Structure 1
Amino acid sequence: MGLFSWLSPSRVDENGDANAIPTKTQCFYIEGFLTCSYFTNAVRVADMLTANYPHIKVDVSAYVKEQWKERAEELQQEFATDHKTSPFIYEGCSTENQTLIGGYTDFAKRVKETYRLNNIPLD
């Protein structure tokens, strides 16, 4: 076991298969401004994800660029982070258990590693 292995999410299923793709309902939230190419890419990745895994739920909130700064500040306070760029992606089906993923690159890496969708650009 590597020094930082505890940081990555466990992908062991109920049969002990470490390479299992999660089948439990998972919720992702993508917020960003409409003209942001990273926001658009995140939505495309979410579409691929939900097309392949119907138990995945994605909620997308799009803003005009002028509204984004205020919304990003609200999200920064809510998640106690300095992330402020578009998109802002977090996960968790219950509001008490939502955690920040980060931006597009963080989301793309998570999807590639967890759900093994290989046709996803990392930036």
Structure 2
Amino acid sequence: MGLYSWFFPSSTTPELDEIPKKTACYHIEGFLTCHYFQLATEVADRLTAKHPHVKTDVSAYIKQQWYDRSKELQEEFGNNHRTSPFIYEGCVAGQQKFVGGYSEFAKAVKDSYKMNIPLD
């Protein structure tokens, strides 16, 4: 570090207090014992570790609760997807869109973030 760098700090260093903006938010809902739900949460963990501006939210249910919750999600998103997991994206409530189940989520992550994700 040169002498003048103490007096004239570089303007290329980022602000330490700057909060990064989220570029994507994914919501994963499913039942705990579902293999595809577990895979989706593992993909979400890898995704957020590699891309800190991506937020993932996971909601887990027991299998007996899943039927009622999946019906609520079907009504909210206007589709008939009832299997676990149910994945949707969007950071603003009311502006979220349905992604699909594990296969659709894995393909979207693989295509968008160039990650090596098992598709099934």
Which deviates the most, 98-107 or 24-33?
24-33
Q: CA deviation at 1:96?
A: 2.0
Cα distance per residue 1:18-41 (max 9 Å; x no partner): xxxxx8521000000000000000
> Which one of the candidate residues 106, 109, 112 is aligned to 2:107?
109
In structure 1, distance between residues paired with 2:56 and 2:112: 16
Runs of 4+ in 1 over 2 A off after TM superposition: none
- The separation in 2 between residues aligned to 1:89 and 1:24, in whole angstroms, is 18
Task: Provide Cα deviations, 1:47-106, integer angstroms capped at 9, x if missing partner.
Answer: 000000000000000000000000000000000001000000000000121000000000
Unaligned runs of 5+ in 1: 1-22
Is 1:122–2:113 an aligned residue pair?
Answer: no
Task: Select the residue among 72, 81, 102 that pairs with 2:70.
Answer: 72
**Cα distance between partner residues in 2 of 1:97 and 1:110:** 18
How many Å separate the matches in 2 of 1:43 and 1:103? 12
Contact 2:22 2:55 in 1 (8 A): no
Match of 1:51?
A: 49
Aligned length: 100
Residue identity in the other structure for 2:119: L
Partner of 1:28: 26
State the TM-score, normalized to the length of structure 1.
0.79
Structure 2 gaps of 5+ residues are 1-20
Identity of aligned residues (%): 61
Please report the RMSD computed on the Cα atoms of aligned residues, expressed in angstroms: 1.1
Match of 1:62 among 60, 63, 81: 60
Q: Do the aligned partners of 2:23 and 2:54 also contact (CA within 8 Å) in 1?
A: yes
